[in-house]
Amino acid sequence: MSGALRVEKLDKSFGGLRVTRTISFALQAGERLALIGPNGAGKTTLVNLISGVLAPDAGRIWLDGADVTAKSQAQRVKAGLVRTFQLTTLAPELPVQRQVELALFEREGLTGRAWRSIDTYPAILREAQDLLCTVGLNALAGAPTGSLAYGEQRLVELALALAMRPRVLLLDEPMAGVPRGESGRLTAVLDGLPATTAVLIIEHDMDLVFRMASRIIVLAEGAVLAEGSPDDIRTHPAVRAAYLGPA
């Protein structure tokens, strides 16, 4: 297998519980791949292995042909593997634009220059403003993040992820906790993610999954139950029995 992201025979156990069972797949540049399955299927554990939160018991992880299995989370981010989380982890008192600027500073390796104000880097300021326009938050650039609606905070997280210029973007349940009335803006931004960025999305919103994904992997009990196009998965008998329910 080749691709922007490649995992080979990943295994992970916690005590006597084997939660990832010899999983292999490749994600191509620009591809939209969805990872679905019932609660407890091992989806978040798999993403934790890929992003470096957890170390696998066996198997390898490759990013653009380079083995990153032993790399830290920070090293994987610098190599182009970026992740969002189920729960927001933003600084509530910090203005929205300043958070994006700090992410850009980290990307450019400028965080050690504490003696110089961010405001003296016009290219950083312009890129932060452009990113906020991309996610539709330019009008809220000066607002503390904690004052934003939850769906808007999710958009801030996407801006932070895009600030790192990911080649592979892992989205761990981006719609989780977002009220239906706020979901449209987030969905529009997800639909407009850069075409060159490979995206792996974990999501329980099947409308979003079937519209966004070109390929779907279904996990059950830590193993791949099925893999295929949205039409293949929608009509797969084992998937309907284990997760989607009757047609």
With tokens 């309907």, the residue in question is: 240
119: three-class secondary structure by DSSP: helix
52 Cβ contact partners less than 8 Å away, ≥ 6 residues apart: 68, 71, 72, 73, 75, 76
How many C-beta neighbours within 10 Å does residue 29 have? 14
Domain encompassing residue 98: 5-244
Tally of domains in the chain: 1
Question: What is the CATH number for 37?
Answer: 3.40.50.300
Q: What is the pLDDT along the chain (247 residues), one digit of tens a residue?
A: 568 999 999 999 998 899 999 999 999 999 999 999 988 899 999 999 999 999 999 999 999 999 999 999 999 999 999 998 766 678 889 999 999 998 998 888 876 665 567 777 789 999 999 999 999 999 999 999 999 998 899 999 999 999 999 999 999 888 888 888 888 888 899 888 989 999 999 988 888 899 999 999 999 999 999 999 999 998 888 888 877 776 6
